A and B are shown apart, each in its own frame.
Chain A
Amino acid sequence: MRNLFLLFTRFGHILLFLIFQIISVFLIVTYNKSQKDIWLNSVNVFSGNINEKLQGFSNYTHLKEINDSLMHENAKLQEKIINYKNFQKENLYNTFNGDSSLLQYKLIPVSLCSKTTHLRNNYFSICQGKKAGLRKRMGIITDKGILGITTKCTDKFCKSIFIINSQSRINAQIKTKEYEGIVQWESSDQRELNMYSIPKFANVEEGDTVETSGHSTVFPPGIPIGVVTKVDILEGQNEYKIELKMFEDLSTVRNGFAIDYNYWQEKDSLIQEVVDE
């Protein structure tokens, strides 16, 4: 207590000075018009700046949510396009009316947790699993091409085989020509694919686009894969060896869509029965 008193006798005038200054400034800005205007203006500029900074920061913290919502929106749009294309292919004389029973493909937005692109057998994992509606043997695509097929799913994660895996085989066709072949990865370049089983009378040219055929339950028709860069006819055989360049750069991919085909069980079991017979 005595110390406090001593402190006040020592520095009390500084304290008093500060208090009186605060009171004075308060009086000035409350009762004097020109000073009040300057004060309000300055405070506005100051608080405006602070608000702007805060807004920027909160925008930054909301980026993930915004990103997620955009992904969902993209999934919706892609879904519409895919279903529309599929419908057109199956029904040449009807018009698409958006009836939900006609929507055969559903898209689920996914993000990649990890991936390898430099090995012979490359895999990637997805941060969504069974809880998000994923299952085994679903195709994973982006807006520029296909990524791969899921092989095993847990509740929260999925392991998938990359298209640049020496074991991956994708049914594909040359766009506008409708000849079907098989796309696989043989080179060490992660942007190049090979395509086989196209008969040599198909008249394939460099610059043709290769897309999925849609004859499996994994990929819908019309998803682009790549562009033809080189055409060879194998010696003594009846088919082309085609080199493709992929549209998508797999080393920078972060997000994609999983494709859910509504009638996959029906179609797969039918194919299985035919194979069994």
Chain B
Amino acid sequence: MSAKAVSNDGGHTSHGNDEHHIIPLATYYKIFGILIVLTVVTVAVTFVDFGAFNAVVAFAIASVKAALVLGYFMHLKYDNLMNRVIIGSGVFFLIVLWIFCILDIVTRVSNESPL
């Protein structure tokens, strides 16, 4: 199809002034494999009762999957620091929102007077 053959020197391809890191195909396949395994693990751990930690375990596995998608599929591992700070700030403020809401809810006292 394309007239010009592409030199593929171990995932790095040179084209004039653009030197973007190209993640090799094998890495993508590996990451996909790990994501599928982790999905199976997500379903499997629901058969084990960790009590209060059920949600924590599910959330931890989901976060590992999210990190893999961000790092490899979204190329963040090879991206500049600014883009990592941007997405990190989004997650940070989401956690702030969550913490203050939960603190509010669980520390409320009943409005009904005992007297």
Q: Do A and B actually bind? A: no
